[in-house]
Amino acid sequence: MPDIDRRDFLKLVGAGSVGVAAGFVLAESIKHPVEYLIPFPVPPEDYSPGIATWYNTVCRMCAAGCGISVRTREGRAKKIEGNPAHPVNQGRLCALGQAGLQVLYNPDRLTTPLLRDGDRTGPFTQITWEEGLSAVADRLASVDGGRIYLLSEGVRGHLAGLFELFMAGLGSNRLLHYDFDYPHTLYAANKRFYGENNLPYYDLRNARYLLSFGADYLGSWISPVHHGLGFGHSRQGGEVRGYFVQIEPRMSLSGAAADEWIAASPGTEGLLALGLAHHIVAEGLYEGDDRDDWMSALAAYSTARVAEQTDVPTNTIARLAKAFARNQPSLAIGGGAAGNHSGGVDTLVAVNALNYLVGNLGKSGGLLFNPDPVVGRPTRSRRASFQTMLELAEDARRGNIEVLIVNQTNPVFTLPAATGFKEALAGIPLIVSLSSFMDETTALADLILPSHTYLESWGDDIPEPGVGFRTASVSQPVVSPLYDTRATGDIVLGLAQKLGLTDSMPWTSMKEYVEQGWRQIHARGADTETRDFQAFWRAILQAGVWGEKLRRDNGAFALDKSVIDNIGAQQPEFSGSNDDFPFVLHPYLSNTFLDGRGANLPWMQELPDPMTSVVYGSWVELNPATARQLGLAQGDLVRVESPHGSVSAPVYLYPGIRPDVIAMPIGQGHAEYGRYARNRGSNPIEILAPRAESHTGALAWSATRVKLAATGKKAALVQTGGTSRQLGRGIVQTTDATAGSGHNARLNSIPIKVVST
Amino acid sequence: MANNALGLFHEPDAALAAAGKLKGAGFAAPALISPIPMEGVEEVLGRKTSVIKRFTLFGAILGGLSGFALAAGTAVLYVHPTGGRPIITFPPFLIITYEMTILFGILATVLGFLISARLPAIRERVYVPDAAVDKFAVTVLCDNAEQFERAAAILRGAGAEDVQAIAEQHP
Amino acid sequence: MGVSIVPTLRVLKPAAMIIVVMALGTVVGFWANAAFLPGTAPKQPIAFSHKMHAGDYQIPCMYCHIEARRSISAGVPSINKCVGCHGIVAKDRPQIRKVLDYWQNKEPIPWIKVHDLPDFVYFPHKRHVLAGVECQICHGPVETMDVVTRTAPLKMGWCLECHKARAVEHGTDCWTCHK
Amino acid sequence: MSVVDRFSESWRKYRKPGYYEDFDYAWTMTIDLDRCNGCEACVTACQAENNLPIVGEEDIARGRQMQWIRIERYWDGEYPNARLSFIPMLCQHCDAAPCETVCPVSATYHNQDGLNVQVYNRCIGTRSCAVYCPYEVRYFNYSNHHWPAPLDQQLNPDVSVREKGVMEKCTFCIQRIRQAKDHAKDDGRRRVRDGEVQPACVQTCPTEALVFGDRNDPDSQVSRSLNDPRAYRVLDELNTRPSVVYLKKVVTDGG
Amino acid sequence: MAAEHNELTYADVNRDVVRSLVETGPKYYVTLGVAVGVFLTCFFFPWFYQLFYGIGAAGMNQPTVWGTYLASFIFWIGLSHSGTLLSCVLHITNSAWRKAMYRSAEAMTLFSLMVAATMVMVHLGRPWFIHWSLPYPNQMELWPNFRSPLLFDVMAISTYLAGSSIFIYMGSIPDFAAVRDRTSGWRHHMYVLLSLGWRGTDTEWHRLGRAYTFLAVLIIPLAVSVHSIVSWDFALSIVPALHQTIFAPYFVVGAIYSGTAGIVTVMFMLRKYMNFERYITELHFDNLGKLLLLLSLIWTYINVLEIFTGWYSGTSTELEALRYKLFGFYAPLYWEMILFCAVAPLLLISRRFRTSFVPMLFLSFAINIGMYTERFLIVATSLSRKYLPDTWGLYVPSLVEISILIGSVAMFVTLFLVFVKIFPSVSIYEVKETMDVPRKGTPQWQTTR
């Protein structure tokens, strides 16, 4: 360029430099960010980066005691799966069990010991373990043992033993294991009918015909995963397809899975069972030599009468009775709502009677009696029933309790408001909570010594009910502790040391105690002479489970005549008169939250309820016909009023529920318990009547009547599902039982690639 | 020196006639500059033919071929089986072909236009602004003054209201 | 009287030049940055010399990077490995003292990644090592480097070339390398 | 090998429709609706394995749930004869997948495992695959999702965390398949054994309703259950050739 | 034909057009300012927010993953049809009344196409990777998927954009020349370049004529293909109520329909605010009105067909889709569309209506509102009622979406306002063509000096 004066040149220089700067910045901005490589100073011996390590341990999300294997990478837990070697779940696991990871990694965990300064409205301040333990120890040392209570969640295995030793050392027998869903009535019924202390093993796997009286055996009853395995196999595993009948006022998960759902009127399951029994005996389907005793005992339960009491047609009763007696092996189970009425035990005894009459006892496909567990387990007297809790509350009010140690249980949430339990706690000078989370009860504590989660602690467990033979499993930490917390056992041992109880509890750590305890198991084992204890222990830690495959001899079972004579069932009693409170409230354990312990797990909050697809909240299930009468529509906010209070929730039109019953899931409605649970939905337990089952004193939580009051408001009913009708689109296709006559894959427009087998 | 005679006319017909006379008088093809395309030019100055259509045709064909080549070629270069269809699937590829045909056709046409109309104008060319409004100009190349006089005479004779001499400078 | 576009072009020339110069400038700036501070040889907390260890003393790569043969990641040796030798050897050198300090405090050494693939890439060292791919192909002649420098672009196209050249089974399938 | 060779080879290989029959594997899942009891263990298993985000109440209320496998529920009849059936719905890995053809950038295609794979890095978020999918099993990241610490420590390192604007869906746990192949290679096997690899959902299903395997292997468990006369495919009339086959629910009237 | 130009001279035409370019009143700047302001506040900033937050800023959800963005895309593409297409058809059929209006019509095409392209960007989940949908060699060695209807779109729309911009440019070269001679300063230089040194010799005119015709011939099938392809984005899916043979013609007709209505609007504005009363006359509105009537009838017919075939199929899916469209949540919108696009246009039967400007303006608005609704319904109703009832959901546009829709209109207006100051929005030489050539005694017999 020939002609270029100074100004132009400067312009060009300016432009050029601007360009350079731009280019430079651009290049800088697309640079890769700095990443670090940080190795362990000293790597654990079974660790190598990029390779997963699996640890076998025990699931503690419910009482079933499934074995789990936890996958870890770079020292972090990544996934929980069932332990294939474990006889209870055989490698499978339910949703709640898998969500255990979010217990471990929950953002709302308590991370250090906390001391409340001032009264129970005041805030907490961080303290060291030393301070915390000595604070408790001093107090325990100063007070008379009889005024010390230890209220724990239901624990089994050596931890339970440790509690016993600890309380004994303190000279107190106020040791209680409290679970909302502990089946007191079932234990009582079995005790009365079979004279058994253990639950029998229900062999669904080989059952051809199952009568379930209110037991949601696939959802929440006793051992859902194990029942699921049995159910699946019975359905399509064998030659003959098992037939499942569910008797309950509100269709549960099991009800949906069953071939037949019978909505007997609530609380009359016992009557129905006896009606069936009567029919069986009367029709000569039972030829025991005590047939006459039965006849006389059941005389009052003629089909016709039972039919009009239970609202189940006579021909149905006859059909069920015949089928139950003819399709061997058959099995009758009872529990859930059926057991939660005023006459719960009678009902379940009646169910047992059915099994007896068609001879399901002690044979495959029926029910097998379990041997006594190999490691001690809290006696039933330690199992706090509703009645016991009322007494505890009473003691508290009277000021008979100096120190209350609460371990991982949340009675403030799971006891009806009418019991005044929460208020009663005010009468206790010192409440110590060992919970890992700030739940409703812990929020009232004065001192919090946070426990490890089960994935960080040592321990062991004996599944209950067993699987027909003796088995036990060890739980070991799968990750190093996240926070400044301690295993419950270690806390107890720590206190014991401070209190100088070392002669009765010489162990320094829970690990040591468990290991020592397992020496006895090793001692009894067949391989005692072949392997020394250390080898045995290593093997156990790898397998995660131990068992001896000898079934208990279920020989001839003789029934005492007195039992037969005492057989009987009454109409259920409800709190609230029929006229003022037209509906029976049917609270049920949510499949995802159980009694509410799962509500702080985001996965569980976001897991659609199987039956309604509702997430993040609670609802009131209403028969569409009833709703029409009341002029209510889906999503209308209603107030559920019982004689003891009211909660409100949106209406859900539920085709599978009796018109005179309304159902609500338990588990939501927390006031505390972390960001995911707090102030979500409502808790039906609040409004339950404080009515106890007559024999066991268990809470009869299906025995409250309620009425509905429309608020005129709409409430957000968050659902993942849209329309739940198929409109003849053949999405879920069905066929009748006769195999082969079903629609054949080969006939599809595109043949499914079929290989001859 | 002036080497172009340019006559400004008020009426298209007159301009056309003038152009005819010039042609008759043996001048190298005179050019008509008009604000609108004029009818009847071809009768006077002979048929015009342009190469544009060839461009268009060629471009279209090229576009079609390259279109299909692009689609098919890339499909084979990096195989991504989709929907269980063969990787070279004619119906969809024909659509690509179609679009590319038209695209190249259009571009070629433009090219053809620019070339055949000798645009853009680099060399400065004879022009009068009025011819873009309402005047009709006839311009013819003259080698010398004598020729210019003749041309001017013819133009005036045909009724040009003004005759100018315009030189074409070379930039 | 005539018409042409050239005069206008003359008028516009300066503006055009400015734009062109600016564009060129951008290119230059970009290049300069890439050329003079590529950031491929970050300053490590400890001036560890691969030249000395792998080059002069001929210590095989997988003596320290043990995992390379059996895991996704090659693994950086943890300090106890370093101390394994340097507990005895050359304890007085300043750099080694640093290492020993880390060891005393049981702190890990925060090495900076030189060869860092994005999180969405699945690169199993194991498969490559077992397939007989030399470490140097991706990591460059480390045994000659006092400060480890990234020599390979580690871009998708670069991976693909090798995969194609070696005719890796499904070597160009997205899900072979992406996750 | 030269460009020409690659041309001719891949052209020959993928010329005729149905070429996917010759892929290395034809991973297939059968779901026995007579076993399935809707417990949703599979859903959580999937969330844990595949780093599925917690989208939160608001987003679910706006219909943005993310569960690669979901349980659909359908009522038949009214009280007292109401019946509820569950059907697990996940990506059907169709051999003739509508979603694959529509993606402008080939972010979803069929790979040699016979899987319909989604390449998150390639996705530009036109969301057309979700429109074209009749099973509604493709889920879109409407925003970046966060895991409040320490929940993020659970994230599976074998699966990438998807960013906003990306479509995602069930992969049949391709990372596990990859692992299994890896092991097979280590043992010097050409192929993965039947039952060696199970997606998270299949692994955890308590009723064993889900069966997974290679249908090209005539002895595999899945091939056997494909023989069940109850086998059918959802929306078969659309000819998408799903690799997920359902076994009909058995409905009986009275014992 | 020449009748209404009687009072006009060639010189007037030049003067008027040049005036429309150079003389700019405050009214113009105010409008421009407002347009730009609205564009920034309603389009630009919301979009930035969406870029950071993710598509979640819009109301889209699981069943309905497409929303107003795509609807707007189709709408703008549709609006672009008839500008150039109409102009081409009329050019080939050599109908004189085109000449006063085609320039602005084509401009409309161009700008609505640009807006449509931006709507695609807005629609994408990761627009920063949009270049992956273009075929160019890259280090990843990856190419777009040419089997995808969306890629057809990319190709078609880019071709259409190129084609129509070239077409409008070619048509205005002589006018640039005319303006060049009447302007000075930067304008002059701009027009020198734009006019490429056009002189208007007989040869140039001839070449231009030929090239212009070829372009017209090429662009007509292109325009048809473009909207057919847009329709295939839907029709090639197997979604009930979308998977239909009729869709391509349906879309094309709809497009021309809304486009023509759009032209009416623009004509009105030019006539009113650029003082082109003498060029854009009742005649144009009359003809456009007739065209609109025809189109509305065809459009209605296809709608009826859609309903009939859907109903006749009797399948659960089709019936549900139909029921939902006619009586479901979006039903009011549907009937609004029918009212605006099928019933209201029947007024066009009367010549008095066609030739009265203000009513025509309102009708054109109504039609385009209706047509937007149509596009919205196509997306919303069918996607929220697909095969599996359990996945059914509801889609309601979010604020961001609505404001971006408004902003896109502002964007269009802005572009158009800029256009009218650069392009002679009425074709000088073609208007002259419609007038008598100057002869002694005719009103044109006047000199410019």
pLDDT tens digits, one per residue of B89-139: 999 999 999 999 999 999 999 999 999 998 898 888 888 888 888 889 999
Residues 6+ apart with CB under 8 A from D209: A232, D31, D32, D33, D34, D35, D36, D37, D88
Residues 6+ apart with CB under 8 A from E333: E373, E376, E377
Q: Chain D partners of C175 at a C-beta cutoff of 8 Å? A: 111, 115, 117, 119, 174, 178
Inter-residue contact E290 to E354 (CB < 8 Å): yes
Q: Is the pLDDT of residue C104 over 80?
A: yes
For the entire predicted model, the pTM comes to 0.93
Element (H, E) at D29: strand D27-32
Whole-Å CA distances, A564 to A189, A526, B3: 13, 41, 137
pLDDT band at E444 (very low <50, low <70, confident <90, very high): low
pLDDT on residue A2:
53
Secondary structure of C77-104 as H, E, C letters: CCHHHHHHHHCCCCCCCHHHHHHHHHHH
- Chains C and D are touching, with contact defined as 3 or more CB–CB pairs separated by less than 8 Å: yes
pLDDT on residue A743:
39
Q: Which of D124, D137, D169 is the best residue to mutate to test the E interface, defined by the most E CB atoms within 10 Å of its own CB?
A: D124
Q: Is the pLDDT of residue E132 over 50?
A: yes
Whole-Å CA distances, D67 to A180, C173, E296: 31, 26, 45
Taking every pair of Cα atoms in chain B, the longest distance, rounded to a whole number of angstroms, is 82
DSSP code of residue D161: P
Average pLDDT over residues E100-128: 93
pLDDT band at D191 (very low <50, low <70, confident <90, very high): very high
| Contact call for A754 and D227, based on CB within 8 A | yes
Does E8 contact chain B (CB < 8 Å)? Answer: no
pLDDT on residue E1:
37
By Cβ distance, the residue of E148, E198, E433 closest to B119 is E198
Does C116 contact chain D (CB < 8 Å)? Answer: no
Looking at chain E, the whole-number percentage of residues with pLDDT higher than 90 is 74
**pLDDT per residue over B39-96, tens digit each?**
888 888 888 888 999 999 999 999 999 999 999 999 988 889 999 889 999 999 999 9
Looking at chain B, the whole-number percentage of residues with pLDDT higher than 90 is 40
Q: Is the pLDDT of residue E447 over 80?
A: no
Inter-residue contact C74 to C65 (CB < 8 Å): yes
Q: Name the average pLDDT for chain B.
A: 88
pLDDT band at A737 (very low <50, low <70, confident <90, very high): low
**pLDDT per residue over E5-32, tens digit each?**
456 788 888 888 898 898 888 999 999 9
D 72-111 → E contacts, CB under 8 A? 72-74, 89, 98, 101-106
Residues 6+ apart with CB under 8 A from C56: none
**pLDDT per residue over A9-42, tens digit each?**
888 889 999 999 999 999 888 887 888 888 888 8
Q: Which of D2, D111, D115, D187 is the best residue to mutate to test the C interface, defined by the most C CB atoms within 10 Å of its own CB?
A: D111
pLDDT on residue A738:
55
pLDDT on residue D1:
57
CA–CA dist E388, E379 (Å, integer): 17
Tokens encoding A425:
């706690």
D 153-182 → C contacts, CB under 8 A? 158-161, 174-175, 178, 182
DSSP code of residue A236: I
How close is the nearest chain E Cα to the Cα of B163, in Å? 16
Which chains reach chain D with 3 or more Cβ–Cβ distances below 8 angstroms? A, B, C, E
pLDDT on residue B44:
84
Does C7 contact chain E (CB < 8 Å)? Answer: yes
pLDDT on residue E256:
93
CA–CA dist D72, A490 (Å, integer): 46
pLDDT on residue A754:
42
Q: Name the phi and psi angles at D251, rounded to 5.
A: -120, 120
Does C121 contact chain A (CB < 8 Å)? Answer: no
* Per-residue buried b or exposed e for A677-693, using 16+ beta carbons within 10 Å of the residue's own CB: beebbbbbbbbbbbbbb
Q: Chain E partners of B77 at a C-beta cutoff of 8 Å? A: 141, 143
Q: Is the pLDDT of residue E317 over 70?
A: yes
Average pLDDT over residues A474-499: 94
pLDDT on residue E49:
96
The residue ranking higher by pLDDT, A526 or D109, is: D109
**pLDDT per residue over E252-304, tens digit each?**
999 999 999 999 999 899 888 888 888 888 889 999 999 999 999 999 999 99
Residues 6+ apart with CB under 8 A from D190: D184
CA–CA dist A620, E354 (Å, integer): 61
Question: Which stretches of A180-259 are DSSP H helices?
Answer: 184-194, 224-232, 253-257
Which chains reach chain C with 3 or more Cβ–Cβ distances below 8 angstroms? A, B, D, E
| Nearest residue of D to residue E49, measured between CA atoms | D143
Q: Chain D partners of E150 at a C-beta cutoff of 8 Å? A: 102-104, 126, 128
| Contact call for E218 and B109, based on CB within 8 A | yes
pLDDT on residue D5:
83
pLDDT on residue A3:
64
Q: Is the pLDDT of residue A578 over 60?
A: yes
**pLDDT per residue over A423-456, tens digit each?**
999 999 999 999 999 999 999 999 999 999 999 9
Element (H, E) at B100: helix B90-116
CA–CA dist D138, E361 (Å, integer): 44
| Nearest residue of E to residue D73, measured between CA atoms | E390
| Contact call for A41 and C103, based on CB within 8 A | yes
pLDDT on residue E449:
34
Q: Name the average pLDDT for chain A.
A: 91
Does D164 contact chain E (CB < 8 Å)? Answer: yes
Inter-residue contact A473 to A546 (CB < 8 Å): yes
A719: amino acid identity, one letter: Q
Average pLDDT over residues E204-216: 94
Q: Chain B partners of C3 at a C-beta cutoff of 8 Å? A: 121, 124-125, 127
**pLDDT per residue over A257-278, tens digit each?**
999 999 999 999 999 999 999 9
How close is the nearest chain D Cα to the Cα of A531, in Å? 31
- Chains A and B are touching, with contact defined as 3 or more CB–CB pairs separated by less than 8 Å: no
Which chains reach chain A with 3 or more Cβ–Cβ distances below 8 angstroms? C, D, E
Tell me which residue of A266, A244, A234, A258 sits closest to A336, measured CA to CA: A266
pLDDT band at D192 (very low <50, low <70, confident <90, very high): very high
| Contact call for A39 and C76, based on CB within 8 A | yes
The residue ranking higher by pLDDT, A738 or A341, is: A341
A15-24, A41-50, D18-27, D39-48: segment of lowest average pLDDT: A41-50
CA–CA dist C98, C100 (Å, integer): 5
Question: Which stretches of A578-684 are DSSP H helices?
Answer: 602-606, 624-630
Q: Chain A partners of E321 at a C-beta cutoff of 8 Å? A: none
Element (H, E) at A96: helix A95-98
pLDDT on residue D75:
95
D222: amino acid identity, one letter: V
pLDDT on residue A423:
94
Does E320 contact chain A (CB < 8 Å)? Answer: yes
Find how far residue C63's CA is from the centre of its chain: 21
Does A750 contact chain C (CB < 8 Å)? Answer: no
How close is the nearest chain A Cα to the Cα of E128, in Å? 14
Does E185 contact chain C (CB < 8 Å)? Answer: no
Find how far residue B22's CA is from the centre of its chain: 22
| Contact call for D112 and C173, based on CB within 8 A | yes
Q: Is the pLDDT of residue C10 over 60?
A: yes
Looking at chain A, the whole-number percentage of residues with pLDDT higher than 90 is 77
Does C152 contact chain E (CB < 8 Å)? Answer: no
Q: What is the ipTM of this complex?
A: 0.92
Q: Name the average pLDDT for chain E.
A: 91
Tell me which residue of D188, D29, D174, D205 sits closest to D110, measured CA to CA: D174
Whole-Å CA distances, A38 to A35, C49, C108, D48: 10, 18, 6, 26
List the Cα angle A576/A581/A582 in 5-degree steps: 130
Does D159 contact chain A (CB < 8 Å)? Answer: no
**pLDDT per residue over A283-338, tens digit each?**
999 988 889 999 999 999 999 999 999 999 999 999 999 999 999 899 999 999 99
- How many beta carbons lie within 10 A of that of residue A9, not counting itself? 10
| Contact call for D160 and C178, based on CB within 8 A | yes
pLDDT band at A500 (very low <50, low <70, confident <90, very high): very high
| Contact call for E197 and C4, based on CB within 8 A | yes
